[in-house]
Amino acid sequence: MNLTNIGYTYPGAAQPVLSGITLALAPGWCGIVGDNGCGKTTLARVVCGQLAPSEGTLTHGLVCAMCEQDANVAPARLAEFACDYAADAVRLRARLGVQDDWPWRFDELSGGQRKRLQVAVALWERPDLLVMDEPTNHVDAPTRRAIMGALAEFRGIGLLISHDRELLDGLCRRCLFMGPRGAVMRPGTWSEGAAQEERERAEASHARDVARTEAARIRREAERRRQRAEQSASRRSLRGVDPRDHDTREKIGRAVVTGKDGIAGRSRAVAAARLERAERAAEATFVERRYDGSVWMDVRPSARKVLFRAAEGELPLDGGAVSAAGASAGDESAGDVQEDGAASGEAGPVLRMPALTIGNTEHVALVGANGSGKTTLVRHVMERLDPDVPCCYVPQEPTEAERRGALARLGELLPDERGFVLGIVARLNSDPARLLEGGEPSPGELRKLMLALGMLDKPALIVMDEPTNHLDLHSTQALQELLAGFPGALLLVSHDAALLDAATSTRWEVERAGEGDAVLHVR
């Protein structure tokens, strides 16, 4: 499969998201990596024929399939997969832990369960070319290993868009690194390609520093020659020379005739030309910008010492009623509270919880296997927060309405507020110009924007469900620094151990207890 000089510009956008992409793709897995918004998913859609390129050509007669990064998107052939009990389909279900009833209740599944189902259907289709867009978003460590094993058996052309270093290194033997200056294919694993990219960046930075130093030296030399030339011009002038000083007038005339006194002027012209070349060289040396750095936030911890409180009790995992002990302190009129811990209707699986609190400066990590009830518990916390506790909530998968709302709010902000929001987006390693140009934000960019907009409300509590999903590696590091330094309270749901270790101090761990039940432990 060949792509030649591919470019793509979204309608209404000022700049193309893809430009000059030329590739030859062969069987095996090729990683596609780069910062949020650089065009990875757009390139995948062009390759699969979902988008027609604005320029360039691509040639292939291949059957393509794409596993979407959005876990809310049900696969197109989900019903066919659900009805297939041939050996391949049964083996895929077993390998990825997909239960037979999952396709029929897709909307009820957790993000990790949906992702497993998406991956299973994509592999079941057995395409010539398979695009996996963030296949390990939402999933826990055992599921990640299962997905890696299943993808390793694929024998067609595979494109893996991911920020999962372990997955990239385990599957890919070449990676396309996408950035502001285009795309570069590097052989080897992601780690090998990233090391080469960093060496190139260091060399470019050194070359730029050398060019700037040389330009400064030439600039100083040019200034000295300019002064010398002005002195020579002054000496050549007969103005101020006594008409009776025939000797001086004769020397000046001889210097002008022989051209000796014009050397300084010619040297100045030569120096100016050298300076222009040196400045062009310094400007031409490109070093990719990184928006790393901490974010100063004008936020203070809430005056309330405890923001959330729940007594010991049980939380239904099937959408039922909360037991009597599960209501938050002060919520005496909660209509769905059942006496004696008995839920109305048929008994279903429950999450058994100890007494819980979130202090005004406490950073809490919520961990557990996929489908164990973490997101259900987050919703419970959000529903039980008192209205006077300002909260910034970034969900696991923002809806279309939330996307439109975030972009609309950005457009309505006053200039100072917009500058504050875009400053946070920049420090989270995204180019704010893309949001201002009206381009379609990537899922990673949208989550950064939602967090930045939430900062305007000076939240006492930040709640983020799988915050590193869709984020590139530099953005994850920047987010980690921001959350670790947040002075208020934090509730963080994540499978990213490094993020949790750096940004949280209390751990709520959900463990399965059989019969669909789960138990929450506070560590």
CATH code that applies to domain 2-180: 3.40.50.300
Vertex 334 angle, CA 333 and 337, to 5°:
125
* Residue-range domain boundaries for the chain: 2-180, 216-284, 306-522
* Domains 2-180 and 306-522 agree in fold: yes
List Cβ<8 Å contacts ≥24 apart for 142-147.
Answer: 142/369, 143/96, 143/97, 143/112, 143/115, 143/116, 143/370, 146/95, 146/96, 146/97, 146/116, 147/96, 147/116, 147/119
Single out the residue of 199, 161, 156 nearest to residue 27, CA to CA.
156
Amino acid at residue number 245? D
Contact assessment for residue 437 and residue 14, using Cβ atoms and an 8 Å cutoff: yes
**One pLDDT digit (tens) per residue for the chain, 523 residues:** 899 999 999 887 778 889 999 999 999 999 999 888 789 999 999 999 999 999 999 887 899 999 998 888 899 999 999 999 999 999 999 999 999 999 999 998 888 889 999 999 999 999 999 999 999 988 888 888 899 999 999 999 999 999 888 899 999 999 999 987 789 999 999 989 888 888 887 887 777 778 778 778 877 877 777 777 666 655 555 555 566 666 666 665 665 555 445 555 555 566 667 667 666 665 654 445 554 445 545 678 999 999 999 999 999 986 544 454 434 333 433 333 333 344 444 568 899 999 999 999 999 999 998 878 898 899 999 999 998 999 999 998 888 899 999 999 999 999 989 988 998 888 888 888 777 776 678 888 898 999 999 999 899 999 999 888 878 878 888 898 889 999 999 999 998 888 899 999 999 999 988 777 899 999 8
Name the DSSP letter for residue 322: P
Give ∠ CA 325-331-336 in degrees, rounded to 5.
Answer: 60
3-state DSSP of 63-125: CEEEECCCCCCCCCCHHHHHHCCCHHHHHHHHHHCCCCCHHHHHHHCCHHHHHHHHHHHHHHC
Longest dimension (CA), the chain: 123
Looking at domain 306-522, which of 3.40.50.720, 2.60.120.260, 3.90.25.10, 3.40.50.300 is its CATH number? 3.40.50.300
Nearest to 385 by CA among 310, 456, 453, 315: 310
Phi and psi torsions of 444, nearest 5°: -65, -45
Give Cβ neighbours of residue 415 (< 8 Å, ≥ 6 apart).
none
